[in-house]
Amino acid sequence: MTPEALAILGKARRSFIFSIGILLLGFMAIGFALVYRAMRDTPPPAVAESVVLPAGAEVVSAVVSDGAINVTYTIGGVSTLALFDQATGEMTREVVLGE
């Protein structure tokens, strides 16, 4: 190949690499924008402000998971697990663990 043809080929390569670089930066910017919007627009889950336990209950543990508030408490030596709805705070289920 002639030196002029090699110069034109080199210039075309540089132009192609520059164009692909700009294209990849654009795709990355769009990807970051989509991830940012998805994370920003997700509202935090609603959590009840309070739950009602029987009088005299001593709370052993309380955990929020999978849309439920799990509270373990004891009354008179009997351990009980109470499951509450995370949004409303209403008791959905109660399991006696030991007597």
Taking residues 1-8, report their average pLDDT. Answer: 91
- 99 pLDDT more than 70: no
pTM here?
0.55
* 97 exposure class (CB count in 10 Å sphere: 0-12, 13-18, 19+): exposed
| Longest Cα–Cα distance in the chain | 98
Give the chain's domain count.
2
> Taking a C-beta distance cutoff of 8 angstroms, is the pair 48, 87 a contact?
yes
**pLDDT tens digits along 24-83:** 999 999 999 999 988 887 777 777 778 888 888 899 999 988 888 999 999 888 899 999
Question: Do 27 and 62 share a structural domain?
Answer: no
Q: Range of 23's domain?
A: 1-42
Beta bridge partners of 93: 83
How many Å apart are CA 1 and CA 13, to the nearest integer? 16
Look at the alpha carbons of 54, 90, 80, 95 in this order and tell me if their dihedral is positive or negative: positive
Three-class SS of residue 46? coil
pLDDT computed for residue 51 by the predictor: 85
Residues 7 and 34 in one domain: yes
Same domain, 34 and 63: no
